[in-house]
Amino acid sequence: MRAVSSAFLETIRGSHKFFSRVRVLTAYQEGVAPTGTEITVSDGDVRADAKADVRQTVDVETSGTRRWPNANDDLLTPYGNELFVERGLDYGNGTVEIVPLGYFRIDSVQQDEGPDGPIQLSGSDRMVGIIDGRLPMPVTFTAGTSISAVFSSLVHDIYPTATILFDFDAANSFFDTQHVAEQDRYRFLADIAKSYGKIMFWDYAGQLRIESPPDPTSPVYEVNAGPNGVLVSLSRELTRDGVYNAVVATGETTDGTVPPVTAIAYDVDPDSPTYYFGRFGKVPRFYASSFLTTASGALSAARSILQRATGLPYNINFQTVPNPALEVYDPIMITSRDGSITHVLDTLTTPLTAQQAQTGTTRTRISFEFGEEVF
């Protein structure tokens, strides 16, 4: 969850004054206070999806009066300009607490009623630049190249001044063998991150992060009904689609210089509803990567992938008072009349106006024990 004050979390549980802001940026910037041109916001939202390649997208409706981009260098053209989006609280005493939601490249501009009707802007976070930036020629990384050097080479080729943050010692983690990035720059980097048991995303400050997801056992926020509650309504669906209880991770280098490795992680807790040897059935997922060159590395990847998949998907319509500090992968406690359950956020939609509720989908947190094998 993004950092906010305790006063912020208390205030959104009662009557409060909403605040939002969108600025258009014409140069690459990072941080939570970029310089740009503010535009009006009459509608819109930010959507986040933990499983999507592009983690966040945005739609913004703004005034069309004298704003339609007639020239190539006009403010709202989709030629590289970005939106910096925020939502927060106005405490009414001259103090505003703002939560940054992220940087978004303008992808499309639409006006249904010209020349002065509202303009709809759609955008994607900075990962879209990595996805679009396919490699015109293969790039070879020799054995001994550090993970940080690989990311620096492929990311800075698109965003020369981008900050890249790791939660492990990427400068002293090396390729054991030669690897070649063919055309798909994004997939090459994402596969490295996954082989280390990490997720890869652009954060609200416009920085690329390669890190482990938050601890799913420690809720960071409660969505509750009743006095001082924020839960307005709740609809639910349980499904086993996309749920598995074992991961088989296999590594085999393309040049054959390192022996193949395989590791399997199972849910072996007899009390778990997804117990591998229980009534749920055996539902393994298979993951292969040339970046897995050791048994320990394959096992770490298998455990991480299985950890992120545990729990049945709950499709939930929150209808909750928006908390813009929440992010996908955050564990939250959802409390209704039938009890409290810890959920992990899979998707989240945060409105940019006062009229809409925040919505999302989650999966329940299930406690289980790992069983492991390596070959």
Q: 360 and 345 in contact (C-beta within 8 Å)?
A: yes
- The predicted-structure confidence for 150-186, as pLDDT tens digits, reads as follows 999 999 999 999 999 999 999 999 998 999 999 999 9
Check whether 213 has a pLDDT greater than 60.
yes
Same domain, 167 and 44: no
Last residue of a domain, one of 185, 211, 237: 211
For residue 180, give the CATH number of its domain. Answer: 3.55.50.10
In the structure, what pLDDT confidence band is assigned to residue 234 with cuts at 50, 70 and 90?
Answer: confident
Domain match, 80 and 110 both: yes
* Whole-number pLDDT of residue 173: 96
User: Is 38 a member of any domain?
Assistant: yes
172 plus 299 within the same structural domain: no
* Rounded Cα distance, 294 and 297, in Å: 5
Residue 22 and residue 166 in one domain: no
User: Is the pLDDT score of 286 beyond 80?
Assistant: yes
pLDDT in tens, 107-123: 999 999 988 999 999 99
Give the residue numbers spanning the domain of 269: 221-374
pLDDT band at 375 (very low <50, low <70, confident <90, very high): low
Point out the least confidently predicted range of 196-200, 219-223, 332-336, 338-342.
338-342
pLDDT (0 to 100) of residue 336: 81
Q: Are residues 134 and 264 in the same domain?
A: no
Judgement on whether residues 235 and 363 belong to the same structural domain of the protein:
yes
Last residue of a domain, one of 124, 149, 181: 124
Could you read off the pLDDT of 303-315 as tens digits, one per residue?
888 887 766 666 6
Structure tokens at 348: 């989240």
| Percent of the chain residues topping a pLDDT of 70 | 94
Percentage of the chain modeled with pLDDT above 90: 66
Q: Are residues 176 and 134 in the same domain?
A: yes
Domain match, 134 and 120 both: no
- Judged against a pLDDT cut of 80, whether residue 302 lies above it is answered with yes
Residue finishing a domain among 159, 179, 211: 211
